[in-house]
Amino acid sequence: MAAARIAEALKAAGIEVWFDKNELRGGEAWDRRIHNQIHDCRLFIAVISSNTEARDEGYFRREWRLAVDRTLDMAENKAFLVPVVIDGTSERSAAVPEAFHRVQWTRLPGNDSPASFVSQVARLMGADPGAATTAGTGPTPAVPPPPAPRHHHRRLSLGVLALLAVAAGGWIAWRNHWMPGSASDVGVGETSIAVLPFTDMSEQHDQQYFGDGLAEEILNVLGTIPGWKVIGRSSSFQFRDHTQDLRKVGEILGARYIVEGSVRKAGKQLNVTAQLVDATDGTTRWSDNYQPSPADALSLQRQIATAVAHALRMTVLGYFSGGGTRSEEAHDLYLRGIRDTDSGEPDAMQRAITELTRAVEIDPKYVEGWVGLANAYDNVATEGLAPRAENYRLALQAIDKALALNPTSADAYSMRAFVRMNGYDWSGAEEDIRRSLQLHRSVNGIEAASKLAIARGKLGEADDLLKEVLATDPLDVYALSMQAYPLYPAMGRFKEADRICDKLRDIDAAVPGLNADQAAIALWQGDHERALRMAEAEPDATTKLALLVIIYTATGKTELSKQTFAQYLRNPPDSDYYLASMYAIVGDRDRAFEHLDRLYERRAPDLLLLRVEPLFANLRGDPRYKALLRRLKLPE
C-alpha cells in the first residue's frame, strides 16, 4: 500500500517512523499507544484519499483531531501537520479538519517513488536535506535519486516522525513536489485542457486576485500550443471554490485534463501548489509545490505551464517574449487592477484605473499593464461611469503605447478593436480584428469579430463566431447572452433563445435581464400566459412595468398599455436606449428617434445593437432609421 512504501522510504533515509501495522502488537492498549505517538511525534502526516472521503466516521478522524489539538500549543510557524493526497481527491472539497487547509498539501500517488518527498521531510525535521531539487526551478523539474540508506537512526530532539496508516487512509507525511519520470503520449481527440482558478487558502483570504491572475496567465501560455484546445477563462472560472469531482468538471467543460491549485501567503512567504489531473479517471498526472521569492513569483506561471506541458509531452514556444514585467509591485498592481475591472462594481472599476496607471508608471514597458489600463478606461466609459469621449481617448492612447512596445500583441489589437467599435470606428476595428486573429485566434479576438458582425447586421456570421467561442469556452456568459438576446430573437429562433436562457440560469442565475429576455421570447412565441407570469415575477419594478407595456401592446390591450406606460414614465430609467425602445413599442416614433439621436450625440455604445434589436422593429420602415444608420456608417 502507498503508506507502507512511504514508510519504508523514510526509514531507508534514516528517519525513525512509527507505523501502526508494524509497531502495534496484539494485546497492547492501542488507543493509548496512538495517543502517545501523536503527542510525541515530530511531524504528523495525514494520508487523504477516496477511502477517507468515503468514510464519514472512523477512528482515523479522531486521530486527525488529536493532531490538530496538539497544534494549539505550538508556535504558528512550527511545521507539524502534513496532509498528503495519494489519489485524485480534491483539496478544496476534502472532508478534513479546517486546520489541514491552513497548511501546504502534497500530491503523492501511491504507485510513485517518494524520493523527493523524503528529502523534504528531512528538511522539515531540521536535518540535512542533501541534494534534493528545489520545486519549480526550471522547465522540467527532475525527481532526484533515492537517498542512500544510512546505518543509524536520525533521532530528533522533539521525537520521532509519526506515520500511521489506518485501513481508510489515516495519517502520513509532508508536502513538496512530485513529477512523474515520464508521461504517456496524449492520443488523438484527447488534447483538451482547462485551468481552474487557484484557491486562496491564506488565513486573511486576500490572495484570490493573485490566484485568479496566475490561473489566467497559465491558461494564456497553454493557449499558444498548436493543436490543443484550451478551455476559456469564462468557463473555467465558473468552478471557483467548486466541490465537484474533477471528473464531472471535465465532463461539463469538455476537458480531458484539468489544472488546479492553491495559493497561500503567510507573512511575506508565498506558497503555491499546482496539479494536473486526468479528468477521465481523476488520477494526478503531475503535481508540484512552489515557494517562490518575490522575484521568482513573476515567472511562476511559466514554470507551471511548462511543467504541465512537459508532463503531457508538449512544448511551449513563442509566448514569453515581451508583455510582462520584472517588477513585483507592478505585477501585483496589475493583478489587482484586472480583478477590480472585472468586478462590475463602480468604485472598484474606478480604482482599477489608479492601480493600472501606477503599474505602468513603475514599469513603462509593461505591455500587459498598458492593455489592462486600456480595458479599464473602456469599461468605465462604456458603463457610463466617466465621460465617454475622454476615456475612450485614454484607452486608445494606452493601447498605442502597448503596440509601440510589442507590435505582435494579439490582445492589444483585439482590445483596440473593442474601443474603436465603441467609438463607431468600424473600419479601424475590422483591421485590428484581422491583425489580432492572424497573430492568435483567441476568444477575445473572436468575440470582437462577433460584435462587429452584429453591429453590421451579419447575423449568420455573428452566430458562427459565437459558436466558435463556445467550442472552447462552453460557459462563456457573454457569448451565450448575445445568442439568447438579441441575436436569436432577431433571427426568429425563439426556442433556441429560450433554451440558452435556461442554460444561463444554470450557470449563474444572477445574469442580468434573464427574466425580461425570457418574458419577451415567450411573447414572440405566442405564449402570452407565460410571458405575463414572468413579467409579474420580475423583481425590478421598472423592468416589470416595461414588460407589461410590451405584453399589453402586443395583445391589443391598448388602455392597459397606456396606463402602465404612464406609470413607467413617472420614474423612468436613466437610459435613452431603454426609453427609445419603449417609445418604439407604443408607436411614438418621434420620441423614440429623439432618444436615439441623444445616444448618437453621446457616442453611446448601445447603438451597436441598432440593426438587431427586436424592440426597434417598428422603426425600421421610417426614413430616420436609415439616416441614423448612415450617420453611424453602418449598412442600411
Mean pLDDT of 611-630: 94
Could you give all domains of the chain from N- to C-terminal order, each with its CATH number? 2-162 (3.40.50), 192-311 (3.40.50.10610)
pLDDT in tens, 278-317: 888 888 888 888 888 766 776 787 788 788 877 877 655 4
CA nearest to 381, candidates 398, 359, 364, 404: 398
* Diameter of the chain measured on Cα atoms: 98
With the CA atoms of 602, 608, 610 and 612 taken in that order, what torsion angle do they form, in degrees rounded to the nearest 10? -170
pLDDT digits (tens, 9 = 90+) for 30-70: 556 666 677 777 888 888 887 788 777 776 787 888 888 88
Contact 74, 41 (CB under 8 A): no
CB 17, CB 3: distance < 8 Å: no
Q: What is the pLDDT of residues 325-354, one digit of tens each?
A: 888 899 889 989 998 998 889 999 999 999
* Alpha-carbon distances of 85 from 113, 121, 203, 313, 568, rounded to whole Å: 14, 15, 22, 24, 59
**Beta strand residue intervals within 255-383, DSSP E:** 257-266, 269-278, 283-290
Q: In terms of pLDDT, which residue wins out, 116 or 212?
A: 212
String of DSSP letters for 434-475: HHHHHH---HHHHHHHHHHHHHTT-HHHHHHHHHHHHHH-TT
Question: Where is mean pLDDT largest: 145-149, 175-179, 301-305, 553-557?
Answer: 553-557
- Structure letter (DSSP) for residue 483: I
pLDDT score at 176:
29
pLDDT of residue 165: 37
Q: Give the tens place of pLDDT for each residue, 388-413.
A: 999 999 999 999 999 999 999 999 99
Give pLDDT, residue 601.
92
Query: What is the rounded (10 degree) CA torsion for 280, 301, 349, 476?
Result: -20
Residue 146 pLDDT > 70, yes or no? Answer: no
Helix residue ranges, H only, 508-588? 514-524, 528-536, 541-554, 558-570, 576-586
pTM of the model: 0.65
